[in-house]
């Protein structure tokens, strides 16, 4: 199924963040006068922030990312979009399992082994299954979807993800009547993920990383399981071999390197909720009218091919511009209370 956007907020060619910019985003919030999510984690991280925490060093010249070409269909109506430069997408990342500084994941994840891989889908369902590495790219028809990506730190990008609908995966396991939420879990492997072995390097997070969605959010056609970007499999620093992409929510909801998807009856306690519940709620819908306790969410800096210092500040759209497709999920809810 191809996702088509027909509303006034449909992306234009100039909106897609060049791939090289996507991976070098931390500098974008340096001049905003606040620190990003990682700043609350430890005194060591806070010290780094004051010394240029949001500066991003490019990947080392000898950095080699192992990727393979993917076969996929494309929504041709979105192909005029200008994407974030690829080299920035793959060298500037939030993936604390490989370090809390933006340049560290690209440098420390080079030898991350994604094959073999096992993804278990279980819990409140009739037909639990386990997928191996090949299943991730062969069980479902892959498509390219160009989505806006909005970080809670107020930078944004446009990324050409490749993947399949999460709904198609969940339909295979047949959720039962007790399934109300979906819980996701990142691989826990301290030998491969140095940020898990060293809490100082990993920002003080309790691992494994856990995220969650309401079942109706998970089943929404926009919710994507991504296995690639820019026509290739995901680099490890971007969440290889499979990650979640929920384009109307802040980026920390899009959990990476997933090994477990569990259908559950109660709302899961997510990693950032446990760490800072007053700052990072369960829903995390992009909302320009609900500020983070330490900064405004009314606008964002769109990262484009113009570089880190290009003044591409734009107004933030409710639900990141996807309100027509998802606002009905929250009818009657107080979106400041349920942030």
Angle of CA points 219, 16, 215, to nearest 5°:
10
pLDDT digits (tens, 9 = 90+) for 13-44: 445 555 444 444 444 333 333 334 444 444 33
CATH code of the domain made up of 13-330 = 3.90.420.10
Report the length, in residues, of the chain. Answer: 339
Q: Are 94 and 251 in contact (CB under 8 A)?
A: yes
Pairing of strands 118-123, 243-245: unpaired
Distance CA(287)–CA(297), nearest Å, equals 7
pLDDT digits (tens, 9 = 90+) for 277-304: 999 999 999 999 999 999 999 999 887 7
The pTM of the full predicted model, rounded to 2 decimals, is 0.84
Instruction: Give domain limits for the chain.
Output: 13-330
pLDDT digits (tens, 9 = 90+) for 308-332: 566 789 999 999 999 999 999 999 9
Identify any residues that bridge with 121 across adjacent strands, giving them in sequence order.
Answer: 129, 261
Using CB atoms within 10 Å of the CB of residue 299, give its burial: 0 to 12 exposed, 13 to 18 middle, 19+ buried.
middle
Say what the pLDDT of residue 72 is.
86
Say what the pLDDT of residue 64 is.
61
Task: Say if residue 208 is preceded by a cis peptide, omega within 30 of 0.
Answer: yes
């Amino acid at each position: 199924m191809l996702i088509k956007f027909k509303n006034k907020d449909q992306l234009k060619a100039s909106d897609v963040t060049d791939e090289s910019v996507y991976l070098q985003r931390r500098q974008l919030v340096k001049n905003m006068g606040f620190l990003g999510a990682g700043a609350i984690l430890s005194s060591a991280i806070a010290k780094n922030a004051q010394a240029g925490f949001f500066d991003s060093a490019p990947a080392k010249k000898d950095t080699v990312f192992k990727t393979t070409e993917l076969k996929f269909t494309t929504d041709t109506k979105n192909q005029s979009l200008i994407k974030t430069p690829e080299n920035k997408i793959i060298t500037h990342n939030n993936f604390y399992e490989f370090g809390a500084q933006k340049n560290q994941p690209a440098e420390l994840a080079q030898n991350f082994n994604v094959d073999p891989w096992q993804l278990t889908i279980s819990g409140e369902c009739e037909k639990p299954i386990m997928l191996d590495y090949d299943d991730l790219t062969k069980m479902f028809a892959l498509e390219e979807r160009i989505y806006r990506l909005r970080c809670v730190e107020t930078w944004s990008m446009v990324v050409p993800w490749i993947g399949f609908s999460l709904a198609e995966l969940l339909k295979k396991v047949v959720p039962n009547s007790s399934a109300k939420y979906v819980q996701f879990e990142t691989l826990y492997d301290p030998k491969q993920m140095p940020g898990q072995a060293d809490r100082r390097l990993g920002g003080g997070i309790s691992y494994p990383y856990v995220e969650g969605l309401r079942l109706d959010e998970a089943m929404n056609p926009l919710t994507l399981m991504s296995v690639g970007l820019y026509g290739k499999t995901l680099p490890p620093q971007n969440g290889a071999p499979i990650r979640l992409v929920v384009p109307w929510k802040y980026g920390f909801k899009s959990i990476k390197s997933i090994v477990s998807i569990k259908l559950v009856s109660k709302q899961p306690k997510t990693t950032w909720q446990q760490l800072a519940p007053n700052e990072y709620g369960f829903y995390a819908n992009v909302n320009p009218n609900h500020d983070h306790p330490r900064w405004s969410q009314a606008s964002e800096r769109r990262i484009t091919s113009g570089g880190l210092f290009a003044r591409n500040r734009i107004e933030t759209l409710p639900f990141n511009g996807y309100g027509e497709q998802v606002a009905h999920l929250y009818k009657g809810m107080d979106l400041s209370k349920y942030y």
